[in-house]
Amino acid sequence: RSQFLADFSKVAVENLDDDPSVQGDMGYSSDQIQASINMMGAYQSQVDKDIHELEEKLGELKQQVMFCNQQMRDHNYLLHSIIIHKGSANSGHYYAFIKDHESEKWWRYNDSRVTEETEERVLKEAEGG
8 or 98, greater pLDDT: 98
pLDDT value of position 32 = 74
Task: Give first-to-last CA distance, the chain, whole Å.
Answer: 62
Report the pLDDT averaged over residues 99-124.
Answer: 93
Summarised one tens digit per residue, pLDDT across range 31-90 is: 776 777 778 878 888 888 999 999 999 999 999 988 887 877 777 777 889 999 988 889
The predicted model scores a pTM of: 0.41
- DSSP secondary structure code for residue 81 in this structure: E
CA 16/CA 28 separation, integer angstroms: 7
Contacts of residue 119, defined as CB under 8 A and 6 or more positions apart, other chains included, come to: 106
pLDDT value of position 122 = 92
